[in-house]
Structure 1
Amino acid sequence: MKAAPEAQRRLLDLQAVDTALNQLAHRRKSLPELAEIDTVSREISVLEDERVRAQVAVDDLDRDISRFEKDIDQVRTRKQRDQARLDAGGALREIEGLQHELATLNRRQSELEDAELELMERRETAEQTLNEVKKRITEAVERRSAAEARRDETLAEIAKEQEFKTQSRAPLANDLPADLVQLYDKIRTETGLGAALFRSGRCGGCRIELYGADLARVKGAAADEVVRCEECRRIMVRTAESGL
């Protein structure tokens, strides 16, 4: 393929723009905020599971405490009824029976209240655990939100730069021979780099140094000959910097 030396040289300008675009695309995919958001999101998911378990523990204790309160209320009601009957007087045997039942009810009430107190202490601990998990979730959500804000800000900057580079690429490509750009784009699509400067006997694409016949081939090629590397197949652009 033939192309004017100046057109070949301008391939380097086009490649510089495409390299910048590739770097921006890579940066978009590899933002540290993306990994941070993913990590914190998994952390929040684990914490949400902990929160559910902690909430269930509190709810179970609330249910048990409520049951004990009902039992205690029943004992109190029964004590009030028996005390009223005792205060009303009656046969000695009935009075003794009521006194015995009141003593039993007092013991029962004491046992229930002790058990309820133990549950209330356990509930206090369970609620502290629940509140701690909720606090950690809040902090994690805040960290994720901050990372998302940084991500969005950086993505906006990248998009702006990509738009600028894309707009600057079109005039460069349109001003070059169509067949040269077509070859360049084909190589770039396959390898990521379509053209590179040939300098000091070395291909700027694969960095391999040429010797003997290979180097003679490049030196002997006409100025308008599009020379490609035998190793990586990229276009080797010769300029005054090539040292030929």
Structure 2
Amino acid sequence: MTPSRSSLPTLLELQGLDSRLLTTVNRARSLQSSESVAALLRRRAQAIAASRDLDAAKAEAETAVVAAETKVAEIQSRIERDEKRLNAGGTSKDLLGIQHQIESLTAQRAVAEEEQLAAMDNAEEVAADRERKLPLLRAADAEARAAVAERDAELAALKTEHERLTGERARMAAAFPDAGLLARYDEHRTARGGGRIAVARYEDGTCGACGTRLSPADAAALEATPESAIPQCPECAAMLLL
């Protein structure tokens, strides 16, 4: 066998290494563009926005309760002040005016108390709604965080594996005895966007690169390849180890 053909088994090992490298790259790309993770992150963003809306609604309802309580307290204070004036005595006209004022304030207090009760009821409903929804929102957040953590852990492992394989590939390429054959291999492997199988085994009349089963004539021609040449698949042009 010529030196080039004797190097094919080593080149086949290099092809296996390059295939593993490509697998790590493709897997990393797949993880980085994962629609399932993206969907969970969108759901998490929606959950965070919904949680903020619930917090805002709760704060607004509580503010309304405080405002209603303050209004009732202010009216009650005015009533108590006028009652003191009424009890202090005065002219009939003044006392009648104070009495009318107390009656008007009492009516206002009744309305304000109804508003206070409505505000308190609303605050309770808002708080209850928030308590019902928060667990679901927290679950969406936790699920997204877990998915991202899992993805990032796998990406880190892929990076480590890629670095290891890259180093191993560099050592194999540096030690490869036939620079011309290696260049030919790399040219074929990286053609048409890369990722092609440039060298494979030929077994049972079938190309291990493209899977084509050769016709009897093609198989005979391939098997008759001179020792001074590298056998190639007539379909995909991959170098074949007979």
**Which bin holds the TM-score, normalised by the shorter protein?**
0.7 to 0.9
Give 1:160 deviation, angstroms. 3.1
1:237 aligns with 241
* Partner deviation per Cα, 1:129-152 (whole Å, 9 max, x = no partner): 345555444433333333343334
2:73 aligns with 73
Aligned residues between the structures:
237
How far apart in 1 are the matches of 2:223 and 2:107? 110
Q: Which stretch shows the higher mean deviation, 124-133 or 197-206?
A: 124-133
Contact 1:58 1:126 in 2 (8 A): yes
TM-score of the pair, normalised by structure 2: 0.84
Contact 2:28 2:155 in 1 (8 A): yes
Contact 1:40 1:140 in 2 (8 A): yes
1:102 aligns with 2:102: yes
How far apart in 2 are the matches of 1:131 and 1:32? 35
Instruction: Using the aligned pairs only, state the percent identity.
Output: 26
1:181 aligns with 182
Q: Which has the higher contact order (CA 8 A, sep 6+)?
A: 1
Q: Which stretch shows the higher mean deviation, 159-168 or 134-143?
A: 134-143
Which amino acid is the alignment partner of residue 187 of structure 2? K
Given the superposition, is the C-alpha separation of residues 189 and 32 from structure 1 closer, same or farther in structure 2, using an over 3 Å criterion?
closer
How far apart in 2 are the matches of 1:176 and 1:164? 22
Which amino acid is the alignment partner of residue 151 of structure 1? R
1:64 aligns with 2:64: yes
Give 1:195 deviation, angstroms. 1.1
Given the superposition, is the C-alpha separation of residues 59 and 153 from structure 1 closer, same or farther in structure 2, using an over 3 Å criterion?
closer
1:228 aligns with 2:239: no
How far apart in 2 are the matches of 1:155 and 1:213? 48
How far apart in 2 are the matches of 1:176 and 1:64? 84
How far apart in 2 are the matches of 1:177 and 1:3? 8
2:201 aligns with 197
How far apart in 1 are the matches of 2:56 and 2:136? 18
1:88 aligns with 88
How far apart in 2 are the matches of 1:40 and 1:188? 37
Which amino acid is the alignment partner of residue 209 of structure 1? R
How far apart in 2 are the matches of 1:152 and 1:61? 41
Which amino acid is the alignment partner of residue 56 of structure 2? V
How far apart in 2 are the matches of 1:166 and 1:176? 19
How far apart in 1 are the matches of 2:52 and 2:146? 25
TM-score of the pair, normalised by structure 1: 0.83
How far apart in 2 are the matches of 1:127 and 1:62? 9
Given the superposition, is the C-alpha separation of residues 171 and 68 from structure 1 closer, same or farther in structure 2, using an over 3 Å criterion?
closer
How far apart in 1 are the matches of 2:173 and 2:32? 33
Contact 1:4 1:223 in 2 (8 A): no
SS class of match (1:233): coil
Point out where structure 1 has 5 or more consecutive residues left out of the alignment.
Answer: 239-244
* Partner deviation per Cα, 1:175-195 (whole Å, 9 max, x = no partner): 231111111111111252111
SS class of match (2:53): helix
Contact 2:199 2:209 in 1 (8 A): yes
Q: Which stretch shows the higher mean deviation, 135-144 or 78-87?
A: 135-144
Which amino acid is the alignment partner of residue 187 of structure 1? H
* Partner deviation per Cα, 1:174-228 (whole Å, 9 max, x = no partner): 3231111111111111252111111111111111111143222201111341122
Given the superposition, is the C-alpha separation of residues 41 and 132 from structure 1 closer, same or farther in structure 2, using an over 3 Å criterion?
farther
1:213 aligns with 217
